Structure 1
Amino acid sequence: MRLPPLSLVLGGASSGKSAFAERMVRQCGLAKVYVATAEAHDGEMNEKIATHRAKRAGHGWRTIEAPHETVQALTQIEAGEVVLLDCVTFWLTNLMIDDGDWDEELEIMLDVLVQMRAPVVLVSNDVSGGVVPENALARAFQRAQGEVNQRLAAQADLVVHVTAGLPQILKGRPILDDVDEPW
């Protein structure tokens, strides 16, 4: 499978979106780069990060840990590679916790994504299906995540929503060659 320049994989928490995105990247046949944005602030997150690392270990992934320098990490990707950025939600969370200007950072990211010489697959949480949170910070995050997803989807060539591990194409279409593993 050949990937378009920019793909966005959306889904709820534990929807299978990361596993699906990893499958997309593995199937394209390019050198795989994983840009990780999560930070471990507790034991549960430590375990989640360790599980993700273990799944990639020994399978040819180059990992860049970039919870705060995410856009800079994207500029290090070479032609002949494919990047999986997992995930936009943690990138946004990190910016908001640090009182960063996520709108300005998103503009910079969008500019970098347009100039990429390698395909990029972004993973992001879809937070639109839940109830309106009761606290101001959570509501601000929900609004920001919704806007980030909309702006990334507008830029993306392929947008896929994953529910229960099942992909649904919302925009574009994959470029399928002879692949062993169907979507």
Structure 2
Amino acid sequence: MMTLIIGGSGSGKSAYAEDYMISISEDRKKYYIATMQIYDEEGQRKVERHRMLRGGKGFSTIEQPIDIGKAAEKMETGERTALLECISNLTANEMFSGEAPGTEEVITKKIVGGITALNRQLTHLVIVSNNVFEDGNVYDKTTMAYIRAMGRINQKLAEMADEVVEVVVGIPLVVKPKRV
């Protein structure tokens, strides 16, 4: 089963996703798949803050900034759930980790393929992503390619997901309900 949780920056989507994971995990092993690359002190502070906020919640953290499909190789066998945080970091890492930015099509295919492979190996996968189309600004060519890739990935993940929830000002709104 896969759940996509989406929202704008500061919407409360991460806190909702963690609480959601705890509610569905039962006795299964819980993994937190962290995708953020740390480049500076600000990034390090953000990672430490997130670790502190999820402390005591029973998550085992896996650092997987690229090649998301390989995250399952770092998990124990058996029934397990995972929270992937987040698609925007993963997309940026994949798109800009080489000498030249990857194309929208290549990055979308790689990320969606990796998530498909990961989802097959889990009891439940919860994915956090950003809604990147809310500010209405037009950016440089490279940034617009990133935004379009995020849009494509979010659309494909929403299509694949059993449930989609948008978090707006801390309020979860079910966009695609689970089928019973």
State TM-score, norm by structure 1.
0.85
Determine the structure 2 residue equivalent to 1:38: 36
Amino acid at match of 1:17: K
Quick one: structure 1 residues 173 and 48, their matched pair in 2 at CA, closer, same or farther if it must change by over 3 Å? same
In structure 2, distance between residues paired with 1:120 and 1:111: 10
Considering only aligned residues, what root-mean-square deviation do their CA atoms show, in Å?
A: 1.9
Structure 1 residue runs without a partner (length 5+)? 176-183
The alpha-carbon deviation at position 59 of structure 1 amounts to: 2.8
Determine the structure 1 residue equivalent to 2:92: 93
- How far does the alpha carbon of each residue in 1:72-131 deviate from its partner, in whole angstroms, 9 at most, with x for none? 003544442110000011000101112343133134224314523320000000112221
In structure 2, distance between residues paired with 1:44 and 1:96: 21
Equivalent position SS for 2:136: coil
Quick one: structure 1 residues 128 and 81, their matched pair in 2 at CA, closer, same or farther if it must change by over 3 Å? same
Determine the structure 2 residue equivalent to 1:165: 170
Quick one: percent identity of the two aligned structures? 32
Equivalent position SS for 1:67: coil
Equivalent position SS for 1:134: coil
Deviation >6 Å, runs of 4+? none
In structure 2, distance between residues paired with 1:65 and 1:54: 16
Structure 2 residue runs without a partner (length 5+)? none
Structure 1 residue 103 corresponds to structure 2 residue 108: yes
Count of aligned pairs: 171
Superposition pairs for residues 1-183 of structure 1, below 5 Å?
Answer: 5-28=1-24, 29=26, 30-77=28-75, 78-98=77-97, 99-100=101-102, 101-113=106-118, 115-173=120-178
Amino acid at match of 1:62: S
Equivalent position SS for 1:108: helix
State TM-score, norm by structure 2.
0.87
